[in-house]
Amino acid sequence: MFENKSKYPLNKLKVGFTFKLFKQKWTITEIAEYSWNTGNMSVEYTIENTDKKAFLEVEFYKGKFEVIYSEALTLNNINLDLIIEDGYLIFENKKYNLEETFSGSYRNMTTFTSTENLISYQFYLKDNCISVEKWDDGSIESFIGEEIKPKKITNINTL
């Protein structure tokens, strides 16, 4: 019902493809794959337009596409152990609850980096999500985003 009607499946797009999202034209600049220990795989597109860089994570799950749009987020002085223990994260005076934790591996398919392992902690407030990723080297990255319906991605074009 909410499938994108393009001839290009959302999990099979390529670097250089363009599409419309949020009334803006985006270009895919990098592609990465996540292999989750749940047995699922997802594709992450680094997307750019004239104003910003963002990420689109696409997973084909139970016959449907699940799509998360996100942007990098700086969480200064985050105590990851504490927010995991508490089960929530306060951001801009809003409480995001820890709902999912996934471990897996990541590989950039554009630059062919070596595989890296991570644990991803997903904090939700309705359809909004803050993802905090802890990498094997101890570094932490965070992103804020929202789940979107696949039909919001339109006008997919090749180079």
Q: Note whether residue 5 is domain-resident.
A: no
Structural domain contains residue 104: yes
pTM of the predicted model over 0.75: yes
Quick check: is 28 in a domain?
Answer: yes
Residue 3 maps to a domain: no
Beta pairing partners, 147: 68
Does 2 fall in a domain? no
Task: Give domain status of residue 70, yes or no.
Answer: yes
* 25 falls within a domain: yes
- Band (pLDDT 50/70/90 cuts) for residue 78 is confident
Instruction: Write down the mean pLDDT value for the chain.
Output: 91
Residue pair 67/149 in contact (Cβ under 8 Å)? The answer is yes
Give yes or no for residue 3 having a pLDDT over 80.
no
**Structural domain that includes position 109:** 10-157
> Which pLDDT belongs to residue 49?
96
Q: What is the pLDDT of residues 43-53, one digit of tens each?
A: 999 999 999 99
**pLDDT tens string 35-44:** 999 888 999 9
Structural domain total, the chain = 1
